[in-house]
């Protein structure tokens, strides 16, 4: 009769919530926390719940929000795995403004993962609406 070593393993430590709201319903190792999906999720949580002056300036005082299901990293990860297309040469960004420039909520129905160039263009057009008219007149 052998010893069941699983009984002697130390339990995984409880993980703290991110900014008091974000969490993972399963344990995350340091390796898990170094993935593209986790970093993208963390950036979204910080945009929504950080009290930094930088975030307030970027959002002109109106902070974006995150749907309740995406507060759990595992729910975001399932959506991410269906929607992320890896490209070695291009940085990818999560945006909530592809469908509507007025969208303020990060959720599975309104978000997309886009290349940096598209993200920058969306940001430019939402920040400086007249730039679109200027850009189209140059073409």
Q: Which residues of the chain have pLDDT under 70?
A: 1-15, 53-61, 88, 129-139
Torsion of CA 43, 74, 121, 123, to 10 degrees: -50
The DSSP letter of residue 32 is G
In whole angstroms, give the CA distance from residue 121 to residue 9.
Answer: 51
pLDDT value of residue 78: 97
pLDDT value of residue 18: 82
pLDDT value of residue 40: 96
Q: pTM (2 decimals)?
A: 0.76
pLDDT value of residue 1: 47
């Amino acid at each position: 009769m052998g010893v069941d070593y699983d009984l002697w393993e130390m339990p995984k430590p409880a993980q703290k919530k991110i900014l008091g709201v974000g969490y993972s319903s399963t344990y995350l190792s340091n390796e898990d926390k170094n993935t593209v999906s986790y970093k993208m999720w963390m950036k979204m949580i910080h945009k929504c719940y950080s009290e930094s002056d930088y975030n307030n300036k970027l959002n002109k005082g109106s902070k974006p929000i995150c749907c309740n299901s995406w507060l759990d990293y595992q729910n975001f990860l399932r959506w991410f795995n269906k929607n992320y297309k890896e490209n070695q040469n291009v940085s990818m960004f999560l945006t909530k403004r592809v469908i509507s420039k007025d969208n303020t909520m990060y959720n599975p129905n309104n978000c997309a993962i886009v290349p940096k160039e598209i993200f920058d263009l969306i940001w430019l057009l939402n920040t400086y609406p007249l730039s679109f008219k200027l850009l189209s007149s140059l073409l």
